[in-house]
Amino acid sequence: CSPQQGWNITVDLVIGPKGIQQVTSKDAKPTCLAEFQDIKSIRCSGVEDGQALLQLGLSGTPQSLAIKTSSLAEAENMADLIDGYCRLQGGSETSLIVFPRKDREKRISLPQIPAPNLGERHSTLSHSVSGDSEIYAEILDESSRPRSGIQHYGISRDDVTLGRILGEGFFGEVYEGIYTTPKGERINVAVKTCKKDCSPENRDKFLREAVLMKKLDHPHIVKLIGIAEEEPTWIIMELYPYGELGQYLEQNRLGLAVPTLVLYALQVSKALAYLEAINCVHRDIAVRNILVASPECVKLGDFGLSRYIEDEEYYKASVTRLPIKWMSPESINFRRFTTASDVWMFAVCMWEILSYGKQPFFWLENKDVIGVLEKGDRLPKPDLCPPVLYTLMTRCWDYDPRERPKFQELVCSLSDIYLMEKELAKEQERNHRHRPPKILEPPAFQEPPPKPSRPMYKPPSQNNLLAPKLQFQVPEGLCASSPTLASPTEYQSPANSRRTPPPSRHNVFKRHSMR
């Protein structure tokens, strides 16, 4: 960036507890440009070539400290960081950031939601900014929030019968139950309870989810039935027997094909497109917050972190527990939540679905996630994920929120991918069904393999067969080289041997004896 206060030079800025400092070289000592207690206003504006200008109004001087950045998003990120330090050190809840109205259409990073009239009963934010910064609001403790907005949704606790415990949430246990309607109809329900010792602040946060859910009407969003406001407070919702999607994926991974997984992602994207249309950010999109109504239908739930926002504005979270490994970089760094940050989280949720319930970045600790994202590393492609779907995920994980697709575009893309995967699965099944058995397949005519060569026969040596000093001498008459056997003329056939009398024993004996 380039500080512009009478000069124009490119430097590295260091924004930390000691103020705003500049570093011109690695060996140089940081030079303080401004301290946070001296900053009175912060303004961002776009300039030529996509660059932006961050102007800091300082006390005691009419000239502002101007910092030129490469993009408007970078300038607004710096403005949020500086504004946070100013409010932290000054103990003020009022933001110092001022956006001119003429730049409203140029803003990409959305500002914080302004507070509505309390009589509207549709939001839980209270106004806490000065008149010159009307687009910012801070989340306050709302223990005094009127509760008339939920009285219309109240049901009698006597109409609900609790059963077994399904699980435990942040505020209390979740039970299986049966709700008897005024017409006598019995409905299986899930009952979220709030602990008796819960503080009024947490109780209002617990009821906030019910107030928001009652306004939602979508086939892929969990349906709220009613609220029992008396202590202990209950939120009664429809019961989905298959439970959370994360556990369902782990238990049924062998029976879930890729088209079904893409169908789940498509249905969740439709629910989020509905929230996008009514300017609502969810902030906690994960398989643990998706319920399985049937093997072919899932529903988005758990709106405990959801908030309404206004057009072209963003919601800035207060200090609370947030799912770091699912969050976008701007949400981790600046607690900024928009529909673009929901798009990032939805892509992480798709990764969970295609990974059959694995936790994202399970090999990292929460504190190390932002460093990995800043380097440009992203979650790897799941084994069974179609390449075109992973490409769509990477678009959702763009560091710049402006480059991420909208949910309406994601619905169209996922619809095409689902139809493609469904047709591919049908074709594979058709080919497998019409393939003849292996025993009926014609044999492949190939040349026979060469015969194995026989080893050369080596007659054993006599030394190996006979004992030492033992010699064996074959009679001369049995040798093949004997003249008696080698000559054909001297060989007598069996026929001739019958006519010729054998030599007398006496002559043979005499011949031998003569020798």
Which one, of 124, 128, 115, lies nearest residue 144 by Cα? 124
Q: How many helices (H) and strands (E) does the chain have?
A: 14, 19
DSSP 256: -
Look-up of token digits 């981790």 = 332
Look-up of token digits 């699980």 = 167
> In this structure, is the dihedral angle defined by the CA atoms of residues 437, 440, 445 and 447, taken in order, positive or negative?
positive
Backbone angles phi, psi at 226, to 5 degrees: 180, -175
By annotation, the residues acting in catalysis are 284
Going by C-beta distance under 8 Å and a sequence separation of 6 or more, which residues neighbour residue 512?
none
DSSP 8: B
Query: Is 422 labelled as part of a ligand binding site?
Result: no
* CB 237 within 8 Å of CB 190: yes
Going by C-beta distance under 8 Å and a sequence separation of 6 or more, which residues neighbour residue 87?
93, 94, 95, 96
Name the amino acid, one letter, at 446: Q
> In this structure, is the dihedral angle defined by the CA atoms of residues 467, 468, 473 and 479, taken in order, positive or negative?
positive
* CB 160 within 8 Å of CB 178: yes
Backbone angles phi, psi at 469, to 5 degrees: 65, 10
| N residues, the chain | 515
* CB 248 within 8 Å of CB 240: no
Residue 238 is encoded by which pair of tokens?
């429809």
**Residue numbers belonging to the annotated binding site:** 192
- Known binding positions for ATP: 192
